[in-house]
Homo-oligomer: A and B are copies of this chain.
Amino acid sequence: MPRAVDHEQRRFEIVAGLWQIVAEQGIEGISLRSVAARSEVSMGRVQHYFGTKDALVVAGIDLLVKRAVIEYETTAGRPPDERLLHLLLQQIPATEAGRMGVTVWYAYVAKAMTHTAVREILAEATRVGVEECTRHIQEADGLPKAAARERAIELLALSDGLTLRVLVGDITAAEAEASIRDHRARL
């Protein structure tokens, strides 16, 4: 067997470059050459680890989701209401890095409209998000599952919509966060 390289690490380096490209130029900016240049690796390397452009594009959202899941799992053991707020507030772009992440996220949401594999990854991610929120609301408020689920979807939708407004510059991140907390407190 030949050289032992960290497969995951190599793939992550390349995808990190892809995220920058997407944040700056959108999904359209992705090309084997542009991602290779941004990641400061050769185009041959990108081909070696991802094969086709499509696989590279899919890996971009796949890793993004996996990162979010890992971050969420660090809240395990915390009280339900806190975990719920984490899910509702995580995507609101407070920092510059967070802004890049959510910009990439919404670029992929648009992509999902016309790309099956991307759509399935996002659908699964939101499904899990709704389930977790529902569970926390059930525990925190003592609601039956159906009612809790309705509120979960409502809160998540509100979070999505407010996030969009922040991205467009219509409101600030602080205003969005206040609106969500206020809404959660009222329900």
Query: A28-B27, A179-B150 given as contacts; is B158 within 8 A of A112 (CB)?
Result: no
Say which residue of B23, B110, B170 sits within 8 Å of A106 (CB atoms).
Answer: B110
Contact for A114 among B26, B153, B171, CB less than 8 A: B26
A43 interface residue, CB < 8 Å from B? no
Known: A157-B162, A161-B156. A168 touches B126 (CB 8 A): yes
A103 within 8 A of B: yes
Determine which residue in A28, A109, A161, A179 has the highest number of CB atoms from chain B within 10 A of its CB, and name it: A161
- Interface class of chain A by DSSP: helix
Q: Is A24 an interface residue (CB 8 A)?
A: yes
A153: which B residues are within 8 A, CB to CB? 162, 165, 170-171, 179
Given contacts A103-B113, A154-B179, A157-B157, 8 further A-B contacts (CB under 8 A): A26-B115, A106-B109, A106-B113, A112-B168, A126-B165, A126-B168, A127-B170, A153-B171
14 A-B pairs with C-beta separation under 8 A: A103-B113, A106-B113, A107-B113, A109-B164, A109-B168, A119-B168, A126-B168, A127-B170, A153-B162, A153-B165, A153-B170, A156-B161, A160-B160, A160-B161
- A residues near B, CB below 8 A? 23-29, 103, 106-107, 109-115, 119, 122-123, 126-127, 130, 150, 153-154, 156-162, 164-165, 167-171, 179, 183
